């Protein structure tokens, strides 16, 4: 097998922990003996537990001596909740390390590679680097820009309408596509919606039909405190916090509304009204991935602020007409800024996924 094939196996193990490692990255490791036998495998299961390299070395035991380790992220070289993986690799006698990418954490950022090389270990970096970088884009953004990965998801008709009319609740996607959307909810740290979506749909914003190991934060961007305390989302606080992003001015003008929301369990955050600042503040809740589910005005605001990193569109084979609510509130989304990643058929619908670049 080639380096790429072994690294693909390490990436498989890393993905198995999707949705549970925040604020840590997704990491998988594979140890391969000199004669090409996989003798150890592991993944980082969650923050506070040993890293992938440690599990793979434990699995390999004495077979690790002289072997090659394939790891999806540069091994750490500092003390955090656990000790440095570089020491474990050196002590195990690993002869070669193949890392998919360097660690964007300033405490590591190439130092792990340098330490391994200083101890005579051959190190190569970049095998399946693009795949590893996409897998840990959220971790990278938190480390480099101080904000979570933002995914804008919308269900639309063939004529790019998100509802039959603005403010009207409209079921568009099929049951098959909805199940996939629930799995997506199960893998992110938070779901975000605007107050218009709260008023039109009264969503519960929970992850259903899938297992979720961590609390799911629900974020409502409500500059005018329009969300009623009777909203169904407040009956789901056992699933995770409900965070109301509003402004100092709104609370001053409507103190009774803020008090009513706090009384039903909402966390009311008073800010300046800057969407990028509000999203950055979610780090206090260990949010590394934010799924924006609507509505169009929120999607448009996030796009225009240059903070949409991934776009997911579910296109249903129906036409809603000119009176319908427009996708992304009708603003242009240049195709030149989208990197297609996946197009799948889910029942009658098409699930289309793309990464965003150059949106600054």
Which of the residues 53, 115, 278, 293 is marked catalytic? 53
Q: Are 352 and 312 in contact (CB under 8 A)?
A: yes
- Alpha carbon distance 73, 83 (integer Å): 16
Contact 42, 106 (CB under 8 A): no
Rounded to an integer, what distance in angstroms lies between the CA atom of residue 44 and that of residue 31?
A: 15
Is residue 244 a contact partner of residue 227, using CB atoms and an 8 Å limit? yes
Beta-sheet strand order (sheet of 96-99)? 38-43, 28-32, 68-71, 96-99, 122-125
Q: Radius of gyration over alpha carbons of the chain, in Å? A: 22
CB 102 within 8 A of CB 66: no
| Distance between CA atoms of residues 353 and 23, nearest Å | 24
Asked if 53 is an active-site residue, the reply is: yes
Residue 221: closest CA among 181, 260, 192:
192
Within a 10 A sphere around the Cβ of 349, how many other Cβ atoms? 24
Kindly give, in sequence order, each residue whose CB lies less than 8 Å from that of residue 249, ignoring residues fewer than 6 positions away.
Answer: 273
The number of residues in the chain equals 360
Rounded Cα distance between 129 and 142, Å, is 19
- As a whole number of angstroms, the distance between CA 336 and CA 82 comes to 43
Place of tokens 């840990």: 136
d(CA 264, CA 231): 10
Question: Pairing state of beta strands 161-163 and 325-326?
Answer: antiparallel
Query: In whole angstroms, what is the distance from residue 10 CA to residue 249 CA?
Result: 50
Among all residues, which ones are annotated catalytic? 53
């Amino acid at each position: 097998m080639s380096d790429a094939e072994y690294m693909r196996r390490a990436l498989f193990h890393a993905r198995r922990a999707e949705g549970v490692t925040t604020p840590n990255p997704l990491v998988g490791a594979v140890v391969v003996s000199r004669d090409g036998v996989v003798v150890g495998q592991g993944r980082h299961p969650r923050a506070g537990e040993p890293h992938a390299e440690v599990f793979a070395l434990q699995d390999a035991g004495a077979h690790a001596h002289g072997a090659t380790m394939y790891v999806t992220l540069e091994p750490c070289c500092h003390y955090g909740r656990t000790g440095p993986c570089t020491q474990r690799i050196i002590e195990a006698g690993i002869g070669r390390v193949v890392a998919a990418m360097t660690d964007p954490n300033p405490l590591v950022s190439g130092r792990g590679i340098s330490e391994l090389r200083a101890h005579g270990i051959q190190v190569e970096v970049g095998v399946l680097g693009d795949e590893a970088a996409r897998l840990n884009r959220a971790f990278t953004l938190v480390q480099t820009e101080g904000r979570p990965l933002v995914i804008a998801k919308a269900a639309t008709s063939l004529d790019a309408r998100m509802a039959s009319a603005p403010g009207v609740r409209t079921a568009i996607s099929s049951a098959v596509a909805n199940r996939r959307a629930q799995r997506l909810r199960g893998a992110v740290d938070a779901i975000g919606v605007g107050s218009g979506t709260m008023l039109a749909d009264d969503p519960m914003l929970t992850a259903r039909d899938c297992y979720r190991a961590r609390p799911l934060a629900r974020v409502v961007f409500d500059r005018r405190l329009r969300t009623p305390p009777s909203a169904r989302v407040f009956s789901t606080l056992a699933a995770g916090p409900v965070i109301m992003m509003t402004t100092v001015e709104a609370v001053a003008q409507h103190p009774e509304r803020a008090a009513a929301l706090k009384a039903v369990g909402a966390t009311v955050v008073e800010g300046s009204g800057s969407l990028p600042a509000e999203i950055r503040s979610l780090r206090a809740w260990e949010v590394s991935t934010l799924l924006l589910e609507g509505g169009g005005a929120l999607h448009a605001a996030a796009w225009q602020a240059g903070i949409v990193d991934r776009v997911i569109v579910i296109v249903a084979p129906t036409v809603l007409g000119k009176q319908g609510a427009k996708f992304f509130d009708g603003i242009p989304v240049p195709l030149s800024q989208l990197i297609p990643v996946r197009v799948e058929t889910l029942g009658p619908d098409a699930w289309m996924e793309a990464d965003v670049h150059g949106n600054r």
